A and B are shown apart, each in its own frame.
Chain A
Amino acid sequence: MATMGTTFGFPTPEQAFGAWQDLLRKSLALPKVLEAAQTVRVGCTPSRQVYREDKLRLLRYETDAPQRYETPLLVIFALVNRPYILDLRPGKSVVSHFLSSGFNTYNVDWGVPEGGDRFLSLEDYVTRYIDNVVDHIREETGSPKINVLGYCMGGTLSAMYTALNPDKVNAFVALAAPFDWSKKESLLQTWTDERYFNVDRMLEVYGNAPPQWLQTSFLMLKPVQNLMEKYVGFYENMHDEKFLEDFFAMETWLNDNIPVAGETFRQFVKYCFQQNLLIQGKLHIGNQRVDLRRITCPVLNLVARGDHLVPPSQSLPLNDAIGSKDHKAVEFPAGHIGMAVGSKAHRELWPQACAWLGERSDKLRG
Chain B
Amino acid sequence: MTTDFSQAFAGADAFGAFWSDFVKRMASGGIPSPAPAAPPSPDVLAQIRRAFFDAMSQHADQFMRSEPFLTAMKQAMEHSLALQQATNDMIRKGLSAAQIPSRADADHITLLVRGVEERLVDRLERLTARIERMESGRPTRGGAAENGKPAARRSGARRKSAK
Distance of B52 from chain A, by nearest CB (Å): 9
Surface stretch bound by A, among B2-10, B90-98, B103-111, B140-148:
B103-111
**Quick check: B107 and A118 within 8 Å, CB to CB?**
yes
Which of B22-30, B124-132, B150-158 lies at the interface with chain A? B150-158
Closest to B70 in A: A196
What distance in Å separates the Cβ of A193 from its nearest Cβ neighbour in chain B?
8
Inter-chain CA distance A10–B36, complex, in Å, is 9
Report if A207-B70 is in contact (Cβ < 8 Å); known contacts: A119-B114, A187-B65, A288-B152: no
Q: Say yes or no: B49 contacts A287, CB within 8 Å.
A: no
* Count, chain A residues at interface, CB 8 A: 46
Structural contact, B111 and A119, CB atoms closer than 8 A:
yes
A129 to B22, CA, bound (A): 51
Closest Cβ of chain B to A174, distance in Å, is 25
Alpha-carbon distance A124/B117, docked complex (angstroms): 12
Taken residue by residue from 148 to 189, chain A's Cβ proximity to chain B (1 for < 8 Å, 0 otherwise) reads as 000000000000000000000000000000000000000100
| A9 pairs with B37, CB closer than 8 A | yes
Q: Is A263's CB within 8 Å of the partner chain B?
A: yes
A12 touches B39 (CB 8 A): yes
> B57: which A residues are within 8 A, CB to CB?
222-225
The answer, yes or no, to whether B85 is at the interface (CB within 8 Å) is yes
Cβ-defined contact, A224 with B56, below 8 A: yes
Do the beta carbons of A123 and B155 come within 8 Å of each other? Answer: yes
B124 to nearest A CB, angstroms?
A: 14
B17 within 8 A of A: no
> Which of B78, B110, B158 is close to A286, meaning CB atoms less than 8 Å apart?
B158
Q: How far is the CA of A304 from the CA of B71 in the complex (A)?
A: 31
Across the interface, do B49 and A232 meet the contact criterion of CB distance under 8 Å?
Answer: yes
With contacts A123-B158, A224-B57 known, is A205 near B81, CB below 8 A? yes
Contact check, A229 vs B155: say whether CB atoms are below 8 A apart. Answer: no
Q: Which residue of A lies closest to B86 (CB)?
A: A205
Distance in Å: Cβ of A189 to nearest Cβ of chain B:
10
User: Knowing A115-B103, A119-B110 touch, does A9 contact B39 (C-beta < 8 A)?
Assistant: yes
Q: Is B161 an interface residue, CB under 8 A from the partner?
A: yes
| A197 to B57 CA separation, bound complex (whole angstroms) | 23
Residue on A nearest B88 in the bound complex, by CB: A205
Assuming the contacts A9-B38, A123-B155, A205-B88, asked whether A220 and B74 have C-beta atoms less than 8 A apart, the reply is no
CA distance A11 to B157 in the complex (A): 70
Contacts of A191 in B (CB 8 A): 64, 70, 73
A15–B70 CB distance below 8 A: no
Q: Which single member of B60, B73, B77, B110 contacts A223 (CB below 8 Å)? A: B60
B60 and A224 form a contact (CB under 8 A): yes
Cβ B34 vs Cβ A197 within 8 A: no
Contacts of A297-333 to chain B: CB distance below 8 A: none
List the 5 closest pairs (A to B, CB-CB), nearest first. Answer: A224-B57, A287-B155, A286-B155, A119-B162, A196-B74
Binding site for A on B (CB under 8 A): 34-39, 49, 53, 56-57, 60-61, 64-65, 70-71, 73-74, 77-78, 81, 84-85, 88, 103, 106-107, 110-111, 114, 150, 152-155, 157-158, 161-162
